[in-house]
Every structure is written in structure tokens, then in C-alpha cells.
Amino acid sequence: MAESQGSIDIARAGVAVAALTGLGAFGPAMGLSAAWIVVLVGGVLVALSVDAATWQGMGGHLLAETLPGGESRLRRIAVHEAGHVLIAQTEALPVQNVFIGTLACLRAGLRASGATEFTVPDSVRMPLEDLRRWSRVLQAGMAAETVIYGSARGGADDRALLGQLWGLSGHDVPTAQREQRRARREIEQQLRTRRSDLEDAVGELLESAPRLGR
């Protein structure tokens, strides 16, 4: 499942706007030529537009992961994916691949900053117990972020896939919502109990994550 980066996109755009505004306001006082400021601002806006249109913002994500502070960004991605991996192991659901960081995802042909791949049924009605298992696994990334950071940023794709699986199941909406809430409580408690295992898994994923220049 690809990690959603919508909130990160908004934050990145906000930082860029704030930086450009500050440059325009204080650049001349720092001795920067107004003409150079216009050129720089225009260049940055063009680059952001091209990145959004051509790469769906992935170029910006890749750059952000190489700049100071990029390691903390990668760590949060690793926390999310480590949650999927740990709960998948508990539920005996095989993990095909785990990708940490935009570079790893781009190399795999994915438009994401992190992903854990499973073989997920897309057209078969599953028994209730299997739906419960997938409810735990698909929500594990969000639960792991909540355990470590207090809230989750990623997980929109996970929620969408989980909704599809329950939609195919034939169960009514109240049942699906109740079961998903129960599964979320269960795995948050489990990951809090296994926090040291979660931290170890995060370290292993970060160690294997590709970086530019290596």
C-alpha cells in the first residue's frame, strides 16, 4: 500500500510560499538585487509547477529527503511501513516488498514515498475473520504512526483499499465501521506493547533504504 502524502504536500507548499515571501520582503535589506529575487522566485515557481505536472510532486519529495531534516521524514515513513510489516507477520500475511523513501518507490515504478506490497484479493468475498485480519494489517501503518508520533499522516490509500474490501464483502456499513474501529484499537494496543520490536523494525528498514549517491 502506498503511503499518502497529501498533508506533506500541503506543508511543503506552505514552507515554499513562506520562504519566497520572506525572500521578497527581506532580500533587498540583505543586499540581494531585486532582479535576482524575481528570477529566483520565478525559477522556483516554474520548478514546482513542472514537478507537480510531470512527477506528481515526487521530485520535491526526493529533494526533501536529501536536505537537512530528510532523515526524520524517512523515519516517519519507515514507522508507517514497519507497522504494516509487524502486523502482517502476526497475521501470517506474506509481505512481497517494502519500499522506504521516494527514491526506492520511483525505482520500483511507484508514485509514493513509501509502500508495503501484499497480494490482496480484489474480487472475492472474504470470510469475516479474513476481513478482520486485513483490517488490522491495513490500519497498522496509521496505528504505528499514532504510537510513535501521536497521530497519523499517511494512510489514505490504506483506508481506500480497506473500504473496497469491505464493500465487496456484502456486510452493511455499520458492521464494517465497527469492525474497523475494533481492529484499530487492537493493533494500537499491540504495537504499544511491542514498541521495542517496532523501533527495531524501523531501524532495519532505514538501514536498507536507498539514498542518492549510494
Q: Which residues pair with 116 in a beta bridge?
A: 98
**49-58, 96-105, 173-182: lowest mean pLDDT where?**
49-58
Residue 113 identity: S
Helix 140-149 to helix 70-90 angle, to the nearest 10 degrees?
130
Q: How far apart are CA 102 and CA 3, in angstroms?
A: 10
Residue 210 grid coordinates: 536507498
Its pTM stands at 0.73
154: left (phi over 0), alpha (psi -120 to 50) or beta: beta
Could you state, in order of their start, the residue ranges of all structural domains in the chain?
1-214
The mean pLDDT value for 27-43 works out to 54
Terminal Cα distance for the chain, rounded: 26
Q: Measure CA 65 to chain center.
A: 13
Q: What does each C-alpha distance from 124 to 25, 144, 200 come to in angstroms?
A: 59, 28, 35
**What mean pLDDT is reported for the chain?**
79
* Banded model confidence at residue 13, pLDDT cuts 50, 70, 90: very low
Task: Return the higher-pLDDT residue of 155 and 47.
Answer: 155
**Secondary structure of residue 115 in the 3-state scheme:** strand
CB count in 10 Å sphere of residue 136: 22
Residue 48: alpha-carbon gap to chain centroid:
20
pLDDT of residue 58: 58
Domain 1-214 has CATH 1.10.3470: no
Q: Of the candidates 78, 73, 61, which has an alpha carbon nearest to the alpha carbon of residue 198?
A: 78
Grade residue 70 by pLDDT with cuts at 50, 70 and 90. Answer: confident
